[in-house]
Structure 1
Amino acid sequence: MSTVNMPRETWATRIGFILAAVGSAVGLGNIWRFPFQVGQEGGAGFLLMYLLFIVLVGFPAMLVEFVVGRHTERNPVGALKEIGGGAWRYVGWIFVATGFVILSYYSVVAGWTIRYTILGLQDGYLADAGEAEGQFVTFASGLDAIFLHAVFMAAVILIVGLGVKRGIELAVKVMVPAIIAITIGLAIYAATLEGASDAYAYYLAPEWDVIAANWTSILPAAAGQAFFTLSLGMGVMITYASYLDENRNLAEDGAIVIGFDTMIAFVTGLIVFPILFTAGIDPGDPGAGAIFVSLAAAFGDLTLGWLIGAVFFGTVAIAALSSAISLMEVVVSYAIDERNVDRMTAAIGIGGAMFLLGIPSAYDLVLLDLFDLFADQILLVLGGLLLMILVGWSLSTLAIEELERGIGDLGGYGTAWIWAVRIPVVLALFVALTLGVLDYVEFLTGPFSEWLADL
Structure 2
Amino acid sequence: MTRETWATRVGFILAAVGSAVGLGNIWRFPWVTAENGGSAFLLVYLLVVLAVGVPGLVGEFVIGRRAKRNPVGALRDLSGSRGWAVVGGLSVLTALVLLSFYSVVGGWILRYFVESLLALAGGPLPYATEPGAYFGAASTGVDALAYHLVFLGLTAVVVLGGVRKGIELGTTVMMPLVFLLLVALTAWAATQPDAAAGYAFYLSFDLSTLERNFLSILGPAAGQALFTLSLGAGTMITYASYLGEDRSLPFDAGAIAVLNTLVGVLAGLVVFPLLFSLGVDPGSPGPGALFVSIAGAFARLPVGTLVASAFFGVVALAALSSSISMLEIPVSFLVDEFGLDRRRAVAVALAVFAVTGAANALDSAVFQLFAVTLVDRLLTAGLAAFLLFVGWVLGKDALEEFRRGAGDFASSLGPAWLFAVGVVLPLFLVFTLLTSLGLDTHVGFWPTVAAAVAVGLAAFFGLRSSNSVV
Q: State TM-score, norm by structure 1.
A: 0.92
Query: Match of 1:75?
Result: 70
- Which residue matches 1:397? 396
Matching residue of 1:452: none
Please name the residue that 1:87 is paired with.
83
CA distance in 1, matches of 2:59, 2:128: 47
Aligned to 1:221: 220
Q: For the structure 1 residues 362 and 411, does the alpha-carbon distance in structure 2 shift closer, same or farther, using more than 3 Å as the test?
A: closer
Q: Does 1:62 align with 2:57?
A: yes
Q: Which amino acid aligns with 1:8?
A: R
Question: Which region of structure 1 is more displaced relative to structure 2, 423-432 or 83-92?
Answer: 423-432
Matches within 5 A, 1:342-357: 342-357=341-356
What do residues 308-329 of structure 1 show as CA deviations (whole Å, max 9, x unaligned)?
0111011101111111110100
Partner of 2:373: 374
Runs of 4+ in 1 over 3 A off after TM superposition: 125-128, 408-412
**2:306 aligned with 1:307:** yes
Change (3 A) 1:278 1:332: same
Query: Which range moves more in the overlay, 55-64 or 8-17?
Result: 8-17
What 5-or-longer segments of structure 2 have no aligned partner? 443-470
Q: Which has the higher contact order (CA 8 A, sep 6+)?
A: 1
Are 1:22 and 2:17 counterparts?
yes
- Count of matched residue pairs: 434
Listed as ranges, the matches of 1:124-273 within 5 Å are 124=125, 131-273=130-272
Matched AA of 2:308: G
Residue type matched to 1:156 in 2? T
- One-letter amino acid matched to 1:159: V
Q: Is the 8 Å Cα contact of residues 225 and 376 (structure 1) preserved in structure 2? A: no
After superposition, what is the alpha-carbon deviation per residue over 1:23-69, rounded to whole angstroms, capped at 9, x for unaligned?
Answer: 10111111111111111112111111110010000000000000100
Report the 3-state secondary structure (helix = DSSP H, G, I; strand = E; otherwise coil) of the residue aligned with 1:42. coil
Do the aligned residues in 2 keep the contact of 1:127 with 1:300 (CA within 8 Å)?
Answer: yes
Q: Secondary structure at the match of 1:55?
A: helix
Distance (whole Å) between structure 2 residues aligned to residue 411 and residue 156 of structure 1: 37
Q: Give the % identical residues.
A: 45
Aligned counterpart, 2:33: 38
Q: Which letter does structure 1 place at the counterpart of 2:6?
A: W
Match of 1:296 in 2: 295
Q: Secondary structure at the match of 2:212?
A: helix
TM-superposed deviation, 1:215: 2.7
Q: Deviations over 1:229-285 (max 9, x none)?
A: 111111110000000110111111111111110100111000000011111111111
Supply the distance in 2 between the matched residues of 1:146 and 1:242 (Cα, whole angstroms).
33
Q: 2:114 aligns with which of 114, 118, 129?
A: 118
How many angstroms apart in 1 are the aligned matches of 2:233 and 2:108? 23
C-alpha displacement of 1:412: 3.9
Q: CA RMSD in A?
A: 1.7
User: Offset at 1:426?
Assistant: 1.6
Contact 1:279 1:298 in 2 (8 A): yes
Query: Equivalent of 1:48, from 43, 46, 59?
Result: 43
Paired position in structure 2 for 1:428? 428
| Aligned match of 1:445 | none
Alignment check: 8 A CA contact 2:186 2:266 kept: yes
Give me the whole-angstrom Cα distance separating, in 2, the residues matched to 1:414 and 1:240.
22
Asked if the contact 2:30–2:289 (Cα under 8 Å) also holds between the matched residues in 1, the reply is: no
In structure 1, give the amino acid aligned to 2:417: W
C-alpha distance in 1, partners of 2:363/2:350?
21
In structure 2, distance between residues paired with 1:113 and 1:47: 25
* Partner AA of 1:109 in structure 2: V
- Provide the rounded CA distance (Å) in 1 between the counterparts of 2:332 and 2:430: 29
**Contact 2:402–2:411, Cα closer than 8 Å, also in 1:** no
**What corresponds to 1:448 in structure 2?**
none
Deviation per CA, 1:135-178: give whole Å up to 9, x if none: 11111111111100000001111111121111111111110110
CA distance in 1, matches of 2:376, 2:344: 32
Q: Is the 8 A contact 2:99 2:353 kept in 1?
A: yes
Q: Distance in 2 between matches of 1:14 and 1:65?
A: 17
Partners of 2:368 and 2:259 in 1: CA distance: 28
How far residue 431 of structure 1 moved from its aligned partner, in angstroms, is 1.5
> What amino acid is the match of 1:437?
L
Distance 1:144 1:303 in 2: 30
Report if aligned partners of 1:102, 1:375 keep a CA contact under 8 Å in 2. Answer: no
User: Within 2, Cα distance between the matches of 1:290 and 1:367?
Assistant: 21
> Structure 1 residue 199: deviation in Å?
0.5
Are residues 284 and 125 of structure 1, via their aligned partners in 2, closer, same or farther at CA, if it must alter by over 3 Å? farther
User: In 2, Cα distance between the equivalents of 1:127 and 1:207?
Assistant: 34
Alignment check: 8 A CA contact 1:19 1:172 kept: yes
2:416 counterpart residue number: 416
* 2:344 is aligned with 1:359: no
* Matches of 1:414 and 1:49, distance apart in 2: 25
Matched, 1:105 2:101: yes
1:9 aligns to what? Answer: 4
Cα shift at 1:203: 0.4
Contact 2:5 2:164 in 1 (8 A): yes
- TM-score when normalising by structure 2: 0.89
Q: How far did residue 133 of structure 1 move? A: 0.4
